[in-house]
Chain A
Amino acid sequence: MNIHTDPLGAAGLAFYSKISASISHEIKNSLAVINESAGYLEDVTLMTRKGVPLDPDRLGALASTMLKQVQRTNTIIKNMNRLAHSLDEDFKLVDVNELMDLMAHLSERTVVTKGFRISVTPADTPVAVISHPFFLENLIWLMVNFAMTVCGESKTIGMAASKAPTGAEICFSGLDRLTEENFQDFLAQDAGMLVGALNAACHGAADKAMMTLSLSGDIHHPEAVQKK
């Protein structure tokens, strides 16, 4: 497979590998804290053997730190698992709020490292559309990365889902440096290909500093697989 014979696959692989690298870094960071905490327990054991009294408050705080890191790692791995399973099926009923939340979490490390933050606003009511979960995740990730390049001074990217007459919309706001030119350049790459594959629409509104992804709720999609 290469970018010429399977551009969608190549884009998907690039997305998956970037996310995997980010996840592995995060897990390593958690392990580093757990490693140091375990080392500290070893130190405390040695000191106790030499007659230094144990500090139960300090031990309690250390235990909390370790538990916090275990929870953090567990969440990271759960999200990784959700991403992996999004390839189980092609088109299916997708909960847009859940998917947007997953992508916000998976993108968080990259976003924070670059000095930005994502502010997520789920739809008031559950919103589901027939879509390809993995391609949609890939597209949202590309949109987040693009949003960072056109985000304003606030360095905050807003992501809000809502029900729409055609199905659902995900709106990215805070894009003060969005122009028609840079938006079209963005669509000319992998993002445009994914929009087409998803039977979706993507619009940029530079005057409102936002871009919107419109997802069709067409349950009669030819490749749709409805799930209860």
Chain B
Amino acid sequence: MTDKVLIVDDEVDFLNVMSERLKTRDMEVTTATCAKEALKLIDKKSYDAVVLDLMMPEVDGLQTLKIMKEKNPDIQIILLTGHATVEKGIEAMKLGAMDLIEKPADLNTIIDRIKHAKAEKIILVEKKNEARIRDILTHKGW
């Protein structure tokens, strides 16, 4: 199954080249240049992973991460930053980010994290389904 990725970054050139590289690796890539656009997209469609730039105009990456997690707690978000510090990493993880990667990033690292994000998402969906089935069986009492 094709990995579905949403990349959010205000640097259009970066977005275009990364998008193209991921597409040549058989990923289904959607792009957004700002938080507003990204939030509209996640309302319409489910993604295996969101690659999100930390520093963006108006609504930054951490704020966007927070809102995305409120809309969908299972969403897997990988943050990209020009300067990864321990403090930023801790703050990002507390808000529910899957990972924090420093730019310029090795594409293989990003792909690895996307695959990991997809696996995490599948596990979460399976757990939810299990819980739902258990609930039905308990209440129906067959």
A-side residues, CB < 8 A to B, are: 21, 24-25, 28-29, 31-37, 39-40, 43, 47, 62, 65, 68-69, 112-115
Contacts and interface: CB of A to CB of B under 8 A. Distances in A.
B123 interface: no
B27 interface: no
A29 B21 contact: no
Given A29-B82, A32-B103, A62 B58 contact: no
A43 B11 contact: no
Contacts of B104: 28, 31-32, 34-36
B137 interface: no
A114 to B, nearest CB: 8
A27 B17 CA distance: 18
B83 interface: yes
A70 to B, nearest CB: 12
Given A29-B14, A32-B14, A24 B82 contact: yes
Interface in B8-55: 11, 13-14, 16-18, 20-21, 24, 55
A25 B83 contact: yes
B131 interface: no
Given A33-B11, A47-B24, A28 B56 contact: no
Most buried by A among B24, B80, B104: B104
B90 interface: no
A57 to B, nearest CB: 13
Contacts of A21: 83
Contacts of B20: 40
Nearest to A29: B11
A40 B25 CA distance: 11
Contacts of A28: 82-83, 103-104
Contacts of A25: 55, 82-83
B130 interface: no
Interface of B: 11, 13-14, 16-18, 20-21, 24, 55-58, 60, 80, 82-83, 103-105, 107
B14 A36 contact: yes
A40 B21 contact: yes
Given A39-B107, A113-B56, A65 B13 contact: yes
Contact of B14 (A33, A62, A112, A113): A33
Contacts of A112: 57
A67 to B, nearest CB: 11
Contact of A31 (B17, B60, B103): B103
Contacts of B17: 33, 36-37, 39-40, 62, 65
The residue in B14, B16, B55, B107 that gathers the most chain A C-beta atoms within 10 A of its C-beta is: B14
Contacts of A68: 13
Contacts of B11: 29, 32-33
A113 B60 contact: yes
Contacts of B103: 28-29, 31-32, 35
Nearest to B56: A113
Nearest to B18: A36
Between A29, A69, A112, the greatest number of chain B beta carbons within 10 A of the residue's beta carbon is seen for A29
Contacts of A43: 21, 24
Contacts of A32: 11, 14, 80, 82, 103-105
Contacts of A47: 24
Given A31-B103, A36-B104, A115 B18 contact: no
A25 B61 CA distance: 14
B114 to A, nearest CB: 15
